């Protein structure tokens, strides 16, 4: 059985003081408990050390929202895998829809970042998904197929344990809209079939596919109960300890 991964993406929220307060609250709520799932928080860069410290004696993990393809150099404003490993980050989000939309990250850039993360033996959460117009004109599967194919070329079947896909129906992010559980399952099943075609069935069974479109306590159980939904990449609901904990509790209840 694949362990659920419940990942909070704080985006450009939670500076050091807020992050410490939130992480301390999560650590206190889950003190002494282990997870059947994996629980992950990806704070802004400046807040990573504070979250790592708060989570030191817990089962929570810390990750990054982005990374550069180089180890060091004249790349103002960037962060490397070496830096993240020194901070004890275990996961890196790659190719989030907002990175693609606002910062022009192409499938090729996302693939290069994915390759770097896997090469450095970190876990990659590679985001894929379609915009509203692509959903409406029925080109969404082709869009996602191209994104998944590029990411899979960045590694091979030996990377399956450290390779996570997050399906983001972009039209459902920050809008209050959510894909139905059936729509989510349809796309997750399709993505898994693409992985099977490229890496084979055994590797495909190991890859976790997260739902990344406004998962919250009210819809988490229905979404997580789908056969090919292996967790969530959670935005807004991860900014409050009680709502993130509630989603984690739901995952723990299902993933026994």
pLDDT single digits (tens) 11-39:
999 999 999 999 999 999 999 988 999 99
Q: What residues contact 13, with CB distance under 8 A and at least 6 apart?
A: 44, 239
pTM of the complete model: 0.96
103-146 tens-digit pLDDT? 999 999 999 999 999 999 999 999 999 998 898 899 999 999 99
- Report pLDDT for 49: 98
What are the phi and psi torsion angles at 21 (to 5°)?
Answer: -60, -45
- What is the tens place of the pLDDT at every residue in 166-193? 999 988 776 666 689 999 999 999 999 9
Q: Is-contact 94 81, C-beta < 8 A? A: no
Helix axes 107-119, 140-152, angle to 10 degrees: 40
* Residue 12 near residue 46 (C-beta atoms within 8 A): no
Pick from 253, 183, 236: nearest CA to 211: 183
Task: Give the model's pLDDT for residue 220.
Answer: 96
3-state secondary structure 59-103: CEEEEECCCCCCCCCCCCCCCCHHHHHHCCCCEEEECCHHHHHHH
Which percentage of the chain shows pLDDT scores above 90?
A: 90
Residues noted as catalytic: 96, 168
Token reading at 219:
């819809």
Integer angstrom CA distances of residue 163 from 98, 132, 185? 20, 26, 19
| 119 to 122, 158, 191, 216: CA distances (angstroms) | 8, 11, 23, 33
Q: What is the pLDDT of residues 196-229, one digit of tens each?
A: 999 999 999 999 999 998 899 999 999 999 999 9
Answer yes or no: are the C-beta atoms of 114 and 155 closer than 8 Å. Answer: yes
Residue 87 confidence (pLDDT) above 70: yes
Q: Given its phi and psi angles, is residue 20 left (phi above 0), alpha (psi -120 to 50 degrees) or beta?
A: alpha
Per-residue pLDDT tens digits for 105-117? 999 999 999 999 9
**Average pLDDT score, the chain:** 95
CA-closest candidate to residue 122, choices 153, 157, 164, 79: 164
Instruction: Assess whether pLDDT exceeds 70 at residue 162.
Output: yes
Mean pLDDT of 73-82: 97
pLDDT given for residue 173 in this prediction: 73
Q: Is the pLDDT of residue 256 over 70?
A: no
Q: What is the pLDDT of residue 179?
A: 81
What is the sign of the dihedral through the CA atoms of 49, 211, 231 and 82? Answer: negative
154 has a pLDDT exceeding 90: yes
**Domains of the chain, start order:** 5-241 (3.20.20.70)
């Amino acid at each position: 059985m694949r362990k659920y991964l419940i990942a909070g993406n704080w985006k450009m929220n939670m500076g050091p003081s807020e992050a410490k307060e939130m992480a301390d609250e999560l650590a206190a709520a889950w003190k002494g408990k282990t997870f059947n799932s994996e629980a992950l928080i990806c704070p802004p860069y400046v807040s990573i050390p504070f979250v790592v410290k708060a989570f030191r004696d817990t089962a929570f993990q810390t990750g990054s929202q982005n990374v550069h393809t180089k180890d060091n150099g004249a790349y103002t404003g960037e962060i490397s895998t070496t830096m993240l490993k020194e901070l004890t980050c275990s996961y890196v989000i790659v190719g989030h829809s907002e990175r693609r939309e606002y910062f022009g990250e192409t499938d090729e850039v996302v693939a290069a970042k994915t390759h770097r993360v896997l090469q450095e033996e970190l876990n990659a959460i590679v985001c894929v998904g379609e915009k509203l117009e692509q959903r409406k004109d029925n080109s969404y599967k082709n869009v996602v197929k191209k994104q998944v194919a590029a990411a899979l070329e960045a590694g091979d079947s030996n990377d399956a344990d450290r390779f996570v896909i997050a399906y983001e129906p972009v039209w459902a992010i920050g809008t209050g809209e959510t894909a139905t559980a059936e729509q989510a399952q349809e796309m997750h099943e399709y993505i898994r079939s693409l992985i099977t075609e490229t890496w084979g069935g055994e590797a495909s069974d190991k890859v976790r596919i997260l739902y990344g479109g406004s998962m919250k306590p009210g819809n988490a159980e229905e979404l997580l109960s789908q056969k090919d939904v292996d967790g969530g990449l959670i935005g807004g609901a991860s900014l409050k300890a009680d709502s993130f904990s509630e989603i984690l509790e739901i995952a723990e209840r299902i993933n026994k």
